[in-house]
Amino acid sequence: MAAPLLSVRDLVVEFPTRRGVLRALDKVSFDIAEGEVLGMVGESGAGKSLTGAAIIGLLEPPGRIAGGEIWLRGERIDNFSPEKMRRIRGRRIGMVFQDPLTSLNPLYTVAQQLIETIRTHMEVSEKEARTRAVALLDRVGIPAAARRIDDYPHHFSGGMRQRVVIALALAAEPELVIADEPTTALDVSVQAQIIDVLKEICAERGASVMLITHDMGVIAETADRVAVLYAGRMAEIGPVRDVIQAAEHPYTIGLMGSIPTLTQTADRLTQIPGAMPRLNAIPRGCAFNPRCKDVYNRCLVERPELIAREGGRHVACWLYEPVKEAFNV
């Protein structure tokens, strides 16, 4: 297997507060391969967006990376200086935010924002940058791009603005695009189009995508692999089809059971009892133990690490511990 494009190892993100340090991400590890689309799911507050922010180096203070490593194409980037990290943003890692209505500066035309971004990272003339910008807008599906490019953001509808945001994120041809809930704020009717545009362009350019969402439908259609976060910890990661059809972690099983699908013939949707713990009240052992129907003694005291399963899957659950060790207990 080729070296991954992005490799996150034991990432810890903490927020010091006046009532102690909150650990928002706790030893999260995963890889993204070249050209791969990794879906990242979890409830709000599970740490999906934080993972994205940590990778691109935009954690909001007082949040900070308190441990672990982030590698981009064999280079460790989590300890880069702010200036070095800035050069990576946009150029090597692009980011698409949730709300297209607020992601664009209202006081600048689309052309100004695109050209500024292109010229920040590439040695091109104003004119050349503009040509590229028009081509990009055209590619993301803005009709009459050459004319609309001089409009201000408020002249565009929400879906169109998200296309502009995608164009901006991809303007400097990054290798990895982090899309943080790119369709949540949009009308259902345009969500699929936006996802398609994003996926197509990234595939075209060979860029990898980290798609953060809570919409399993989007993951199922778009992602190659899926990672499930729970309370700042990785619960399960594996190929999309496997995880959806045969989830292993009790949390993922519950999550899948709560989604209506056409392929499965469940009589009724299930619901996971309880709620995700707050960061200041994460239980000892497995974070999911208060809600887990398969909980046993060990889950209450010892935290499960990711356990490798067949087919490149990993799951953090004591139920899947290799048998010989289980005998030793």
Partner 1 sequence: MIAFILRRLVQSVIVMLAVALVSFALFRFVGDPIASMVGQETTLAERAELRDALGLNDPFVIQFWNFIARAASGDFGISYRLQQPVMELILSRLPATLELALVSGILAFVFGVGFGVYTALRRGNWVSGTIMTVSLIGVSLPTFLIGVLLIWVFAVELQWLPSFGRGDTVYIGDWWRTGLLTPSGRASLILPAITLGLYQMTLIMRLVRAEMLEVLRTDYIKFARARGLSNRAVHFGHALKNTLVPVITITGLQMGSIIAFSIITETVFQWPGVGALFINSVRFVDVPVMAAYLMLIALVFVVINLIVDLLYYAVDPRLRVDRANARH
Q: How many Å is the Cα radius of gyration of the chain?
A: 21
Residue 97: left if φ>0, alpha if ψ -120 to 50, beta else—which one? Answer: beta
Count of other CB atoms within 10 angstroms of residue 284 = 11
Residue of 154, 268, 293, 324 that binds partner 1 (CB under 8 A): 154
Cα(84)–Cα(56) distance, integer angstroms = 12
106 makes contact with partner 1 (CB under 8 A) = yes
# binding residues, partner 1 (CB under 8 A): 34
184 makes contact with partner 1 (CB under 8 A) = no
Residue of 6, 13, 41, 104 that binds partner 1 (CB under 8 A): 104
Residue of 17, 79, 86, 300 that binds partner 1 (CB under 8 A): 86
Part of the chain binding partner 1 (CB under 8 A), chosen from 1-9, 63-71, 90-98, 252-260: 90-98
**Shortest distance in whole angstroms from residue 177 CB to partner 1:** 11
Residue of 87, 205, 278, 284 that binds partner 1 (CB under 8 A): 87
168 makes contact with partner 1 (CB under 8 A) = yes
Query: Which uninterrupted H or E stretch holds 241?
Result: helix 240-245
94 makes contact with partner 1 (CB under 8 A) = yes
157 makes contact with partner 1 (CB under 8 A) = yes
What would the x/- binding string for partner 1 be over residues 263 to 292, using CB under 8 A?
------------------------------
Backbone angles phi, psi at 127, to 5 degrees: -70, -45
140: closest CA among 188, 193, 103, 94? 193
Cα(170)–Cα(165) distance, integer angstroms = 9
**Shortest distance in whole angstroms from residue 174 CB to partner 1:** 9
Part of the chain binding partner 1 (CB under 8 A), chosen from 103-111, 130-138, 278-286, 308-316: 103-111
Residue of 169, 307, 315, 316 that binds partner 1 (CB under 8 A): 169
Q: Which of residues 3-22 bind partner 1 (CB under 8 A)?
A: none
**Shortest distance in whole angstroms from residue 136 CB to partner 1:** 13
Contact 12, 67 (CB under 8 A): yes
Which is closer to partner 1, CB of 155 or CB of 205?
A: 155
3-state DSSP call for residue 68? strand
3-state DSSP call for residue 31? strand
Residue of 29, 120, 131, 270 that binds partner 1 (CB under 8 A): 120
Cα(213)–Cα(148) distance, integer angstroms = 30
105 makes contact with partner 1 (CB under 8 A) = yes
Cα(70)–Cα(174) distance, integer angstroms = 17
Count of other CB atoms within 10 angstroms of residue 327 = 7
Cα(315)–Cα(237) distance, integer angstroms = 6
Q: Which of residues 22-81 bind partner 1 (CB under 8 A)?
A: 56, 58
Which is closer to partner 1, CB of 89 or CB of 309?
A: 89
Does residue 62 have a cis bond before it (omega within 30 degrees)?
yes
231: closest CA among 283, 180, 294? 283
Binding residues vs partner 1 (CB under 8 A): 56, 58, 86-91, 94-95, 97, 99, 102-109, 116-117, 120-121, 151-152, 154-155, 157, 165, 168-169, 171-172
